[in-house]
Amino acid sequence: MKSFKQHLIITEAKKWSGSRYLIDKNPHDKMWYVMAHVGSNKWMPISNGFKDKKKAEKWRDLQPGVDKAAEKDLGGI
């Protein structure tokens, strides 16, 4: 059985279309996670697991707005 990291490397090549976020299912716990691209061909989960892919997609779609608010909040640093 592949590790989750190995699974991500394979699915990343299939799914990544230049987006900063992707959704992938962990084969071990069968939960959907939103993954963020952190550079150097690395991805990090940024959500808790979701049982439903639609909920993960909705969470992913809200994330760019959260990023903009955080950048604005930290702009003075």
Quick: pLDDT tens for 7-33. Answer: 665 555 445 445 678 888 998 999 999
Quote the CA–CA distance of 2 and 72 in Å, as a whole number.
40
- What per-residue confidence (pLDDT) applies to 31? 94
Quote the CA–CA distance of 70 and 65 in Å, as a whole number.
9
The predicted model gives 61-72 an average pLDDT of: 82
The predicted model gives 40-48 an average pLDDT of: 85
Q: What is the mean pLDDT of the chain?
A: 79
Task: From 59, 68, 60, select the one nearest 15 (Cα to Cα).
Answer: 60
Quote the CA–CA distance of 15 and 7 in Å, as a whole number.
12
Positive or negative: CA dihedral 62, 16, 18, 67: positive
